[in-house]
Structure 1
Amino acid sequence: MSEETKQPTAEETPETQAGAEQTAEQTAQEQTEKTGKGKKKKEKEKTYTLTQQQMEAAELAAKQLESVKDQFVRLTAEYDNYRKRTAKEKDSLYQDAKADTISAFLAVYDNLERAAASEGGEDSPHKKGLEMIFTQFKDILQKQGVTEIEAQGKPFDPEKMNAVMHIDDENLGENEVAQVFQAGFMLGDKVIRHAIVQVAN
């Protein structure tokens, strides 16, 4: 062999160089991890010393925060109650005004009912016209939530009916409504006009 063609030594082989680089990287990484762990330990170990004055100020601030939170919760509850109460009052006022308005129209209902009952024969165009108007009026009341109190043949209910006459009738039960003189009406659960009835003894 000539001097020019030298074989690479173990130190100069690519495998050795790659191994050396890998070892250097691992060592650097291990040192970084150790340093990171050391920093974390140092961070955990940090403590703060407060003076008596600072402790008192912190306690006062905590008490003030608790007081403000309590006031906020109370204020929120009061507002919620106020909102519900005003909504209820508003609805109550609306229902009262609606009941008063409908009550004023019930006289028209009575007149239409009497007119439809007394007008000529079944084929009379006037009777048919009145019946159509009466039906339309009843539909309007129904759409507004108004219902007629069922009284005929029912037990007498003093909360919904006014008895103006009594009759002795063996065919009817005691306190049973024998005849309705004027229809009564309810708006939801509220009586806007009591039924005027005759009651059997």
Structure 2
Amino acid sequence: MSKKNQNEAPGQEQEVLEEQTDQTAETAQQPEAQTEAPDPLLTELESLKDQVAQQEDKYLRLAAEYDNYRKRTAKEKEAMWSDAKADTAGAFLPVYDNLERALKQETADEAFKKGVEMTMNQLKEVLSKLGITEIPALGQTFDPNLHNAVMHIDDENFGENEVAEVFQAGFQCGEKVIRFAMVKVAN
């Protein structure tokens, strides 16, 4: 080979090396480009995951609020129904009292007495169907949550704070007192 060819050969080798270096640099840049491309996709994916989590949280909160609303309205309806029953029963209690007084009166007319008894039994049955019960009083220990003491006596025949006499029957609807029993308490 001549000097010229020898000089060209190293130059050509340099060009080939430069081309290889350029190709290597391009190849090295390509993976960087590929890793950069998924970054926006990953970012968008993470953003969508956050949005889904927020929507799921909103849904769960809404479902919980609805469940609380349903329970609260059911409880309110039950309370309104109970109050309506108590008010209605309260309106009939004077009739109950009058029938009770009529039964205590002596009468010669047995048909009249039987009619009053039947009416009283029918009223008791209606109250029972509504869940209205008479508060037990006579012989019970005085309970200020159920009884209204209007008299007090000292009598050895009765125990401490025992109801000796009932002047007016008390009624309750479940745990709610419609009318306190008016009583006389001993000792």
TM-score bin (small chain): 0.7 to 0.9
- Kindly state the Cα deviation for residue 54 of structure 1 after the two structures are TM-superposed: 1.2
Q: Which residue of the other structure, out of 102, 107, 111, is the alignment partner of 2:94? A: 107
Q: Which residue of 2 aligns with 1:154?
A: 140
Q: Is the contact between residue 119 and residue 126 of structure 1 (CA under 8 Å) also seen in structure 2?
A: no
Q: Which residue of 2 aligns with 1:196?
A: 182
Q: What are the ranges of 5 or more consecutive residues in structure 2 without an aligned counterpart?
A: 1-33
- Kindly state the Cα deviation for residue 51 of structure 1 after the two structures are TM-superposed: 2.2
Q: Which residue of the other structure, out of 64, 70, 76, is the alignment partner of 1:83? A: 70
TM-score, normalised by the number of residues in structure 2: 0.78
Q: Which residue of 2 aligns with 1:61?
A: 48
Q: Please give the alpha-carbon distance, in whole angstroms, between the structure 2 residues aligned to 1:111 and 1:76.
A: 53
Pick the structure with more helix per residue: 2
Q: What are the ranges of 5 or more consecutive residues in structure 1 without an aligned counterpart?
A: 1-47
Q: Please give the alpha-carbon distance, in whole angstroms, between the structure 2 residues aligned to 1:119 and 1:91.
A: 43
Name the aligned partner's letter for residue 198 of structure 1.
K
- Say if 2:87 is the partner of 1:118: no
Q: Please give the alpha-carbon distance, in whole angstroms, between the structure 1 residues aligned to 2:127 and 2:57.
A: 50
Q: Which residue of 1 aligns with 2:129?
A: 143
Q: Which residue of 2 aligns with 1:172?
A: 158
Q: Please give the alpha-carbon distance, in whole angstroms, between the structure 2 residues aligned to 1:94 and 1:140.
A: 16
Deviations along 1:23-79, one digit per CA (max 9) or x if unpaired, are xxxxxxxxxxxxxxxxxxxxxxxxx97521111111101111111111111110011
Q: Residue 181 of structure 1: SS of its match in structure 2?
A: strand
Q: Which residue of the other structure, out of 45, 51, 73, is the alignment partner of 2:60? A: 73
- Kindly state the Cα deviation for residue 125 of structure 1 after the two structures are TM-superposed: 1.1
- Say if 2:140 is the partner of 1:183: no
- Kindly state the Cα deviation for residue 101 of structure 1 after the two structures are TM-superposed: 1.0
Name the aligned partner's letter for residue 62 of structure 1.
K
Deviations along 1:82-104, one digit per CA (max 9) or x if unpaired, are 11011111111121121011101
Q: Is the contact between residue 163 and residue 199 of structure 1 (CA under 8 Å) also seen in structure 2?
A: yes
Q: Please give the alpha-carbon distance, in whole angstroms, between the structure 2 residues aligned to 1:131 and 1:62.
A: 76
Q: Is the contact between residue 185 and residue 195 of structure 1 (CA under 8 Å) also seen in structure 2?
A: yes
Q: Please give the alpha-carbon distance, in whole angstroms, between the structure 2 residues aligned to 1:94 and 1:79.
A: 22
- Aligned counterparts, 1:14-25, within 5 A: none
Name the aligned partner's letter for residue 73 of structure 1.
L
Q: Please give the alpha-carbon distance, in whole angstroms, between the structure 2 residues aligned to 1:173 and 1:125.
A: 40
- Kindly state the Cα deviation for residue 119 of structure 1 after the two structures are TM-superposed: 4.0
Q: Please give the alpha-carbon distance, in whole angstroms, between the structure 1 residues aligned to 2:77 and 2:118.
A: 36
